[in-house]
Amino acid sequence: MAVPKGFRNNININPGKIGPERRQEILDDIADHGTFLPRGVSEEDMDETFVDFVKNELGITVDDGKVPVLFLTIQRWSEFTKTWQFSDKYNDIQLPFITIVRKPDAQVGQNQAGNYNIPGNRTYTYMKVPTWDGARKGVDVYKVPQPTSVDISYEIRIFTNRMKDLNKLNSLVQRTFQSRQAYINVKGHPMPVHLEGISDESDIDDFENARFYVQLFDMTLLGYILDENDFEVIPTINRVYTLIELDENKTFHNVIFDPIVKGNTATYTFVFKPRSEPRFSFNAQYAISFNQLINVEDISRIVISVNGVGVFDGLTLTSPIAISANSTVSIRVYKSNLATGKFQLIGNTI
């Protein structure tokens, strides 16, 4: 069946993630490889990924055949231009083909907007991972260094004897870099590639005056190096002990007892917290005569005994309460179980 003119069968109807979801997807891709640490990145890794990018994203098909892509260093490029071994059985150059030449002079990178790293080769916390050894819980801190930015330049050339092949690659490159940059994924690390310029080198005459086109695309990879030897895994917390210092003279079963004696003036404060015991006792350190009962809150009745003998019952103090040193003082309050009851006794030492 004939395919209608203009028919397309490669339309992507599944839009990619954007915004925070896309950032989380990138983070998951970096770490989702069987380890909590990211994978290291070297210049060789960037070269390999860039070549795959050219083959897969910028590759073109001519006459139902994929145009071959050759990766060359500066030295191999020099040898290639002199020998031109890429030929058919008749020793004629087979066109078209694409070459990638990697420049050896890697420059200080712009991946971090041109900023330099913090001095000292420090490592920084990347992730905190809970641990369990069968008996104790703990946390391991995974730390990584700041990546070293590096710019790597590549020259991509197409050799062809037909203008339509040249137009096909040029159109693909222009659309790929219409947003100034394209991204490659180097071992889970997204890195931008910039198109620096396009130029023509069709005046090469090493093909015995054969008529052909050579177009050059200058590209720069804004990458970074991450050495796995600098990664650190530091065991930290095994168990956490929480210590609370209590003053036994002031706290009894959620009852706060705060005796203050200044000169011959004594102020005893009592606070019964919610759900606290309604009774408590203390041993008197001083001989005191209490003549005031003030600041009573949320208490309906107070009963005070000294050495087992009742000396007060109510909320209004009409006569002094005298206690001697080393006496046992017992207090019983009546209040709601969920309320906080308070009162103060004020008197003078004897």
> 205-226: string of b/e by CB count within 10 Å (b at 16+)?
eeeeeeeebbbbbebbbbbbbb
pLDDT of the chain, 350 residues: tens digit per residue: 555 555 565 666 666 777 777 777 766 665 555 567 788 899 999 999 999 999 999 988 888 788 888 887 766 655 665 555 555 555 555 778 898 999 888 888 887 777 778 787 888 888 788 887 777 778 888 888 888 899 999 999 998 888 888 899 999 999 999 988 899 999 888 899 999 999 988 765 555 555 678 899 999 999 999 888 888 888 876 655 556 565 555 444 588 999 998 888 999 999 999 988 899 899 998 899 999 999 999 999 999 999 999 999 999 998 999 999 899 999 999 999 889 999 999 999 88
Name beta bridge partners: 224: 149
DSSP state of 118: P
Identify whether residues 344 and 266 lie together within a single domain.
yes
Identify whether residues 282 and 321 lie together within a single domain.
yes
Residue 242 tokens, joined: 């929480």
| Residue 83 pLDDT | 59
* Distances from the Cα of 235 to the Cα of 36, 97, 127, 232, 324, angstroms: 14, 54, 12, 10, 59
Read off the CATH number of the domain in which 73 is found. 3.30.2000.40
> Do 293 and 316 form a contact (C-beta atoms < 8 A)?
yes
Kindly state whether residue 202 falls inside one of the protein's structural domains.
yes
Kindly state whether residue 135 falls inside one of the protein's structural domains.
no
> Do 269 and 331 form a contact (C-beta atoms < 8 A)?
no
| Residue 177 pLDDT | 92
Identify whether residues 312 and 169 lie together within a single domain.
no
Task: Supply the range of the domain harboring residue 73.
Answer: 41-111+149-226
Question: Checking phi first, is residue 270 left (phi over 0); if not, alpha (psi -120 to 50) or beta?
Answer: beta
Of 169, 191, 226, the residue that ends a domain is 226
Kindly state whether residue 36 falls inside one of the protein's structural domains.
no
- CA dist 25 and 155 (Å) reads 31
Identify whether residues 213 and 267 lie together within a single domain.
no
Kindly state whether residue 160 falls inside one of the protein's structural domains.
yes
Identify whether residues 72 and 212 lie together within a single domain.
yes
First to last CA, the chain: 117
Residues in contact with 279: Cβ distance below 8 Å, sequence separation at least 6, in sequence order: 330, 331, 332, 333
Kindly state whether residue 83 falls inside one of the protein's structural domains.
yes
Kindly state whether residue 244 falls inside one of the protein's structural domains.
no
Identify whether residues 54 and 105 lie together within a single domain.
yes
Of 226, 260, 288, the residue that ends a domain is 226
Identify whether residues 259 and 338 lie together within a single domain.
yes
Three-state DSSP state, 111 = coil
> Do 319 and 304 form a contact (C-beta atoms < 8 A)?
no
Cis peptide before 130 (omega within 30 of 0): no
Identify whether residues 160 and 201 lie together within a single domain.
yes
- CA dist 190 and 49 (Å) reads 11
Read off the CATH number of the domain in which 256 is found. 2.60.120.10
Kindly state whether residue 125 falls inside one of the protein's structural domains.
no
Identify whether residues 215 and 307 lie together within a single domain.
no
| Residue 305 pLDDT | 94
In terms of Cα–Cα distance, which of 104, 110, 80 is closest to 206?
A: 80
The domain total for the chain is: 2
* Distances from the Cα of 38 to the Cα of 27, 65, 225, 231, 335, angstroms: 9, 38, 12, 9, 62
Q: Measured in whole angstroms, how far is the alpha carbon of residue 336 from the centre of its chain?
A: 50
Identify whether residues 101 and 206 lie together within a single domain.
yes
Residue 94 phi/psi, 5° resolution? -90, 120
C-beta neighbour count of 53 within 10 angstroms: 22
Kindly state whether residue 268 falls inside one of the protein's structural domains.
yes
Identify whether residues 301 and 209 lie together within a single domain.
no
Question: Checking phi first, is residue 326 left (phi over 0); if not, alpha (psi -120 to 50) or beta?
Answer: left
The DSSP element (H or E) to which 297 belongs, if any, is strand 288-297
β-bridge pairing 107-108 and 148-160: antiparallel
Q: What is the DSSP string of 31-60?
A: HBTTBSSPPPB-HHHHHHHHHHHHHHHS--
| Residue 52 pLDDT | 93
Identify whether residues 306 and 265 lie together within a single domain.
yes
